[in-house]
Amino acid sequence: MTVARDFDQLTVVDHPLIRHKLTLMRKVDTTPADFRRLLREISSLLTVEATRNVPLDEVHVETPLCKTAGWRMQEPVPVVVPVLRAGLGMADGVLDVMSEADIGHIGVYRDEETVRPIEYLVRLPSRLSDRTVVVVDPMLATGYSGAHAVTVLLDNGARPENIVFMALVAAPEGVKVLTDMHPKVRVVTASLDSHLNEKSYIVPGLGDAGDRIFGTL
């Protein structure tokens, strides 16, 4: 089945640096150390787009020369939520450019037969209803675990319009499942790939992101 590739809520950040780094990540012989570094770097670059609507307060500061107006992120600060375990490979890249963020964790693995998510951990900061929430998971494949993670956030008070799902690579099938279920959630990715194969891997993709991050191949 061919899935449409136009999604209102999807932003593909195809900056030259991201395209260059993602191509290195796709290569089968890239080492886990390089894979982790590149994932962290791309995550920082994607964060710039993912946080574009973070609310600011106007503040005044004194430079060495004079007083001037400026901006500060509103409290409570945004939250980054890696979906374990592969999402951990993106969280530090987000924090590199948004060190003020708090961190939540959602642990989900996929049942290899049904490819449905099984949840094993949820630990989230308070006041989610007032925060931007950046969910990070490198591969938006079937969309089932991503949609499940968003449901967990909504159940814990997050507002759908304040949630951004940040994936390194997305399949059209996964974007459709996620945005059909959660139409107000934004999806930010470095690449909308071709399709899923019969084992629900993204093609061309980069293989199992968790295994490549942690060297568990």
Residue in 92, 110, 130, 159 annotated catalytic: 110
- What's the CA angle centered on 105, arms 216 and 118, to 5 degrees? 65
Q: How far is the CB of 102 from ligand URA (least distance, A)?
A: 26
Catalytic site residue 110?
Answer: yes
Q: Which of these, 192, 141, 136, 122, lies nearest to 164 by C-alpha position?
A: 136
Site string for ligand URA, 79-118 (x = CB under 6 A): -------x--------------------------------
Pairing of strands 102-103, 79-84: parallel
CA dist 79 and 162 (Å) reads 10
Q: Which of these, 192, 180, 201, 80, lies nearest to 137 by C-alpha position?
A: 80
Contact between 139 and ligand URA per CB under 6 A:
yes
> By C-beta, is 82 or 205 nearer to ligand URA?
205
Contact between 214 and ligand URA per CB under 6 A:
no
Catalytic site residue 211?
Answer: yes
Q: How far is CA 210 from CA 4, 30, 39, 89, 109, in A?
A: 27, 14, 11, 8, 11
Site string for ligand URA, 158-197 (x = CB under 6 A): ----------------------------------------
**Do 174 and 148 form a contact (C-beta atoms < 8 A)?**
no
Q: How far is the CB of 71 from ligand URA (least distance, A)?
A: 37
CA dist 202 and 197 (Å) reads 6
Q: How far is the CB of 60 from ligand URA (least distance, A)?
A: 47
- Chain positions contacting ligand URA, by CB under 6 A: 86, 139, 141, 201-202, 205, 208-210
What residues act catalytically? Answer: 110, 114, 208, 211
